[in-house]
Structure formats: C-alpha cells, structure tokens
C-alpha cells in the first residue's frame, strides 16, 4: 500500500536533510509504533522493514527503545537471515 502526504517543499527539504528518504522513515516510524503498541507482530515488523536480519532488527528495536516480546521468539522469521 502506498500512502501519500503533502508537505511544503521547504519543510520536506529540511526533514530529508535530517532523516533521508521520508517514505522509508515514515514506514519505519509507523512500523515501530505498531509494534510498540502490540498491533503488529515481529513478523509484520520484519516484513515492513524488509532486508533486515534478526540481529539488525534487534538493533533497530534497541535504537528505538523497544525490546523484543517473549512471544516473538517463535515468529516464522525469527531464525531466518541471522548471522
């Protein structure tokens, strides 16, 4: 699904300088908040943040002040792509 938002050009420029690709950043923020609130599972978070290994996902969660939930250890994606 694609979601679009309208921002003034100068605002978008400043935000892109700070956070880079705003589409990717917005998807990450939505995924983080979805996971933090319990709406998304670890598998859904993993798919939203595609191309991340389990270790990268754990690091990403830690950077956002979130720990893995105990129930996530049995996620279908939990053992894939780990180094």
Question: Residue 62, Cα to own-chain centre: how many angstroms?
Answer: 12
Q: Are 43 and 75 in contact (CB under 8 A)?
A: yes
Q: What is the mean pLDDT of residues 27-42?
A: 91
Q: What is the pLDDT of residue 8?
A: 97
When divided into structural domains, the chain yields a total of 1
- How far apart (Å, rounded) are the C-alpha atoms in residues 13 and 74? 41
Q: What is the pTM of this model?
A: 0.70
Give the residue numbers spanning the domain of 28.
Answer: 9-66
- pLDDT of residue 78 exceeding 50, the answer is no
Give the pLDDT band (50/70/90) at residue 7.
very high
pLDDT of residue 39: 94
The answer as to whether 1 is a domain residue is: no
For residue 53, what pLDDT band results from cuts at 50, 70 and 90?
confident
Q: Give whole-number Cα distances, 78 to 2, 7, 11, 19, in Å.
A: 27, 37, 38, 28
In the predicted model, is pLDDT for residue 5 greater than 60?
yes
Query: Per the domain annotation, does 76 fall within a domain?
Result: no
């Amino acid at each position: 699904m694609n979601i679009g938002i309208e921002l003034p050009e100068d605002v978008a420029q400043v935000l892109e300088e700070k956070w880079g690709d705003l589409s990717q950043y917005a998807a990450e923020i939505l995924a983080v908040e979805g996971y933090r609130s319990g709406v998304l599972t670890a598998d859904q978070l993993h798919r939203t943040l595609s191309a991340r290994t389990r270790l990268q996902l754990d690091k990403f969660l830690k950077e956002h002040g979130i720990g893995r939930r105990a129930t996530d250890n049995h996620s279908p994606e939990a053992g894939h792509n780990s180094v």
